[in-house]
Structure 1
Amino acid sequence: MRAVHYDAARSFRVADVPTPTPGPGQVLIKVLQVGVCGTDLHIHNGDFNAVFPLIPGHEMVGTVAGLGANVDRFRVGEQVTVNPNVYCGHCDFCLAGRLILCRNAKGLGANTDGFFAEYASVDADLVFSVDGIDPDTAVFTEPSACAMHGLETLQVRPGSSALVIGAGPTGLLLAQLIATGGAASVTVAGPTAFKLETARGLGIENTVLIPRDDAAAATEALLAASPGGDGYDVVVEATGATTVGDMCVPLTRSGGTVLIYGVTRADETMTFAPFDVFRREITIKGSFAEMTSFGAAIAALRAGRARTDGIITHRFPLEEYGTALETLARDKTAHKVVITL
């Protein structure tokens, strides 16, 4: 089968590799589509706990091509997706039920083989049915699950105001879930007009176009757009840009919550005034991927609570994986990039 194969960071080729065979308790999946994520750019550069050699890719939809022994939850031809986040089950965090903090967590497509390939064989307990969901929506299950974990982490107070800075795919998914998860108003901000137009098409009524390189002007515009002019109860950093992170505490109302949701490099830092956090009792939370949110995400996609209309802008075949990465990194017209097989 064909697969993207990395020997080391920034060193990959589309190669012929053996087609996997499902072992006991495994499902063989024919891959249909795989989303290209900002995390894939980090992995390309050797970040985000990447381990090589590696077949990357973690946002997938496919169909069941074969079943290993003792697998009876699926049928051949059924459309499925895979939770790529695997906990060990025996560290102290896992034994305490805090699976997202697993000390030995593995990520399919990050430190063990993923889905930029024609076929993949995975443990059945990681497989979820998305039969009947349009593949262009089902391919967003993993980012929707990450957004669902963000919503679970926030525990939004009913009637709250929320600001999501970042109109990328996961930012828009999280904004929708916050809007249906108790917030009275949700604002999405970003520097790209067409992404904000997509946000409005997905039901986000309040959008603010902010300058890319002027944090002071962006902060002023966002404060002016807040419901009471004094900020938001919830502020989500969904870009991974530290300059955006620096804006979040000043944009948060007293007693409010900042959620760090975007992916940064491990060596990057954000800044805030500790007295401001102390005096105004600001809570700062983090939301990292997910472990147990796939079922809820699929339910939200089926019910239309999280919609994906218009987010996919570019499609490439597997052989053009390099072009897909470059498009995501450099092309200002790109929103969601998908590899089709």
Structure 2
Amino acid sequence: MRAVRFEGDGKIALREVERPSPGPFDLLIRVEACGICGTDRHIVKGEFGASPPVTLGHEFSGIVESVGSGVTRFRVGERITADPNHGCGLCAPCREGKVNLCENLQPLGVRRDGGFADYALVPEAQAHALPLSIPPLHGAFCEPLACCIHGVDLAGLKTGASVIVLGGGVIGMLVVQLARLAGATRVVMATRQADKRALAQSIGATATVDPSGDDFLRRLIGESGLFPGGADAVFECAGVPETVTQMLKLTKRGGTAVLLGVLPPEARVAIEPLGLLLREVRLQASFLNPFTHARAAELIASGTVKVEPLISRTITLEEASDAIRQPAPRGEIRTLVVP
């Protein structure tokens, strides 16, 4: 079968590899779609740890082709979405229920073979059912949606809350929708690209702003701004130092700033600790998807969260290596690899 392999030192290529056989508690699935995440690009650039040689791709779903002898929850022909983040269950974080912080985490598509391939193995415990009635490409959004659910949970949004979302990629677009579902009445998306601002408003943002210009903060939190004094929650979804700095300034007294974007390891951000202290701003990092993947699958299956408008393009496995190696093209929300 074909698989997109990360081989270390920035090398990524399509290879012919042996089709895997399921162990006793594994599912072999025929991959229907796998999303290209920023993390995939970070891995190839050496900015995020992986275990080469490994098949990349951690946002995927597909049809069950065969099952191991011990599998009881799934049958051949069913559609599943894979939660790629497989904890050991033995370390202190796992025993405390913090599986996303597992000391021995073995994510599919990072340290174990993932979904940029014709077929992939998924442990039964990491599989969640999706109906055959939904569009096949939609299952690839379950993993990023699950990560966003965790971030929104950590923000503790209450009915009537005000929210600012920084960044117009797939994470920002999903957070906009989740914030509205959580009861936020005002959700503003900040992104430079006009087409992304239009898309955000079509899926639930109550307003959008272009963050360009020196008056950006004033337009949002000034006396005559959209949120005088700041918003209840601000989500950083762009993964750049500038927006990390901005989110702390945009959060109101007693509010929460949630870091969802992935920055390179060398990135540094200057903060004003006294200002955070006097305003009692909570800086909350959000990592992965502990026990939220099933909820994401339900939202995708029901159509409650809109993902069709977030598909920028579909490409083949033959095109995937170049697409991952290169920076995301302007305007991209999510590119899906369809074997």
Report the counterpart of residue 325 of structure 1 in structure 2: 324
Report the counterpart of residue 148 of structure 1 in structure 2: 149
Report the counterpart of residue 164 of structure 1 in structure 2: 165
- Mapped to 1, the partners of 2:28 and 2:301 lie a distance apart of 24
- Mapped to 2, the partners of 1:280 and 1:16 lie a distance apart of 56
Q: Secondary structure at the match of 1:247?
A: helix
- Mapped to 1, the partners of 2:29 and 2:69 lie a distance apart of 15
- Contact conserved, 2:33 with 2:139, CA < 8 A, in 1? no
Deviation of 1:201 (Å): 1.7
Deviation of 1:228 (Å): 4.0
Report the counterpart of residue 178 of structure 1 in structure 2: 179
- Contact conserved, 2:168 with 2:197, CA < 8 A, in 1? yes
Report the counterpart of residue 311 of structure 1 in structure 2: 310
- Contact conserved, 2:161 with 2:185, CA < 8 A, in 1? yes
Deviation of 1:78 (Å): 1.1
Q: Is 1:73 paired with 2:73?
A: yes
In the alignment, structure 2 segments of 5+ residues that lack a partner are: none
Equivalence map 1:1-341=2 (5 Å) = 1-131=1-131, 132-211=133-212, 214=213, 216-224=214-222, 226-325=225-324, 329-341=327-339
In the alignment, structure 1 segments of 5+ residues that lack a partner are: none
- Mapped to 1, the partners of 2:7 and 2:53 lie a distance apart of 5
- Mapped to 2, the partners of 1:204 and 1:332 lie a distance apart of 21
Counterpart residue type for residue 115 of structure 1: G
- Mapped to 2, the partners of 1:180 and 1:92 lie a distance apart of 33
Q: Secondary structure at the match of 1:62?
A: strand
Q: Secondary structure at the match of 1:106?
A: coil
Deviation of 1:220 (Å): 2.6
- Mapped to 2, the partners of 1:61 and 1:188 lie a distance apart of 29
Q: How many residues align?
A: 337
- Mapped to 1, the partners of 2:227 and 2:216 lie a distance apart of 17
Deviation of 1:109 (Å): 0.8
- Contact conserved, 1:259 with 1:284, CA < 8 A, in 2? yes
Q: Secondary structure at the match of 1:85?
A: coil
- Contact conserved, 1:171 with 1:238, CA < 8 A, in 2? yes
**More displaced, 43-52 or 109-118?**
43-52
- Mapped to 2, the partners of 1:67 and 1:103 lie a distance apart of 29
Q: Secondary structure at the match of 2:324?
A: helix
Deviation of 1:152 (Å): 1.4
**Alignment deviations for residues 216-261 of structure 1 (CA, whole Å, 9 cap, x no partner):** 4332333258544222111111000001111111111111110011
Counterpart residue type for residue 154 of structure 1: A
- Contact conserved, 2:2 with 2:17, CA < 8 A, in 1? yes
- Contact conserved, 1:8 with 1:53, CA < 8 A, in 2? yes
- Mapped to 1, the partners of 2:15 and 2:227 lie a distance apart of 56
**What's the % identity of the aligned pairs?**
32
- TM-score for both structures, normalised by structure 1: 0.94
Q: Secondary structure at the match of 2:184?
A: coil
- Mapped to 2, the partners of 1:72 and 1:96 lie a distance apart of 27
**More displaced, 167-176 or 220-229?**
220-229
- TM-score for both structures, normalised by structure 2: 0.95
- Mapped to 2, the partners of 1:81 and 1:8 lie a distance apart of 27
Counterpart residue type for residue 83 of structure 2: N
